[in-house]
């Protein structure tokens, strides 16, 4: 089902979900981590995924990112069923995530950390311009030439967010 009416919209205003996860199930050593989980995001929505330790939040997101394969279920992006086998495929579908534990390299600058998540030729000036543009657009101050290890935890979190938003996920 690719058309899903959300909220109080009429059928004429039906919106294709940006993301749907239907019936996602994953077991580890016979123990269910996710059991028939449904999750949906409409275009422009932002969600927080909350739950107790062991509730399956990380497993669900790791399935979406292609880090873990579901035993059962379907993922759809923009109404199309997709199979995401690895993080590069997730990224190609516009899926990005800021993890609870940062993946930044503290001895590198902000722009160097941003480049690590991109493909192709490294263009320092273009990367710095992208960081500046995204930082300003979203109000996430991030100094491209700052060394990550010298930034506060909040500043490092902004760097992670900017890194994701550069790709327009």
Give the residue with greater pLDDT, 120 vs 85: 85
Query: Looking at residue 155, what is its pLDDT?
Result: 92
Structure tokens at 157: 């979190």
Arithmetic mean of pLDDT, 8-29: 82
CA distances from 34 to 28, 57, 58, 68 (A): 10, 8, 10, 12
> Is 80 exceeded by the pLDDT of residue 9?
no
Kindly report, residue by residue over 65-100, the tens digit of the pLDDT: 999 999 999 999 999 999 999 988 998 898 988 877
Residue 27 or 8, more confident: 27
- Residue from 104, 102, 99 nearest 58 by CA: 99
Segment (H or E) for 16: strand 15-16
Q: What is the rounded CA–CA span in Å between residue 114 and residue 108? A: 10
Q: How far apart (Å, rounded) are the C-alpha atoms in residues 44 and 35?
A: 27
What is the dihedral sign for C-alpha 50, 98, 95, 56? negative
Sign of CA dihedral 115, 146, 46, 62: positive
Specify the residue for token string 């035993």: 71
Q: Rounded mean pLDDT of 129-141?
A: 94
> Which neighbouring-strand residues pair with 144?
none
* CA distance readout (Å), 87 to 93, 124, 158: 10, 24, 21
111 within 8 A of 128, measured Cβ to Cβ? yes
pLDDT tops 70 at residue 119:
yes
């Amino acid at each position: 089902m690719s058309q899903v009416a959300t909220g109080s919209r009429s059928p004429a205003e039906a919106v294709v979900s940006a993301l749907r996860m239907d019936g996602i199930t994953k077991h580890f050593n016979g123990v269910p981590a996710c059991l028939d989980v449904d999750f949906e995001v409409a275009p422009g929505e932002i969600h927080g995924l909350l739950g107790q330790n062991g509730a399956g939040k990380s497993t669900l997101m790791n399935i979406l990112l292609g880090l873990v394969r579901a035993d059962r279920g379907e993922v759809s992006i923009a109404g199309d069923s997709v199979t995401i086998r690895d993080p590069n495929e997730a990224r190609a579908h516009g899926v990005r995530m800021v993890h609870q534990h940062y993946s930044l390299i503290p001895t590198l600058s902000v722009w160097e950390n941003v480049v690590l998540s991109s493909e192709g030729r490294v263009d320092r000036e273009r990367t710095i311009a992208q960081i500046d543009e995204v930082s300003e657009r979203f109000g996430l101050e991030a100094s491209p030439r700052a060394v990550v290890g010298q930034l506060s935890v909040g500043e490092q979190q902004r760097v992670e967010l900017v890194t994701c938003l550069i790709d327009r996920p």
